[in-house]
Structure 1
Amino acid sequence: MALTEMVEECVKNLVSEPDAVTVDENNDRGTMVYNVTVAPNDVGRVIGKDGRVVSAIRQMISAAGSKAGKRTVVKINAD
């Protein structure tokens, strides 16, 4: 599974509006940046209390990325 698909599936399982989730992948000087856009009312669910949920997502993607030899960054945006 590609990292983009992994990010998308993970976030879609957390939100109340999965159809509003989009993930854009950009390569910024050797670092893969994943810009995740969700509905405004789902931002809190994706970030979680004290940022714990988004931190877990970032750790998971970072581990998968390092296994593939890539540095990764996950950013959350409201629609």
Structure 2
Amino acid sequence: MKELIETIVKPLVAHPESVRIEKDETDRLITFRLFVHKNDMGKVIGKQGRVAKAIRTVAFAGVPAHQQKRTVIEIVDQ
């Protein structure tokens, strides 16, 4: 999933070298923290969060249906 998120986000931003993803996993939750350059936050979030929602939709389509863990993507500036 990390590679999928990177593949989606890197072409959108002006500073692709700053894109970094960290994964935290507990028994019920998988959290992906997407770090982007401060100036790229608007591009990744989009108007009214539409780009961020689209990123989440595409990324979650790759999650197996039988997986019992909730998956979250957080967008953080560096």
Alignment length (residue pairs): 77
How large is the Cα RMSD of the aligned pairs?
Answer: 1.5
1:11-53 CA deviation, whole Å, 9 max, x = no partner?
A: 1111000000000011133322110000000000000000000
Match of residue 74 from structure 1: 73
CA pair 11-68 structure 1, distance change in 2 beyond 3 A: farther
Matched letter for residue 53 of structure 1: V
Name structure 1 gaps, 5 residues minimum.
Answer: none
TM-score, normalised on structure 1?
Answer: 0.87
Identity of aligned residues (%): 36
Match of residue 24 from structure 2: 26
Say whether the 8 Å CA contact 1:62–1:71 is kept in structure 2: no
Q: Which runs of 4+ in 1 moved over 2 A?
A: 28-31, 66-71
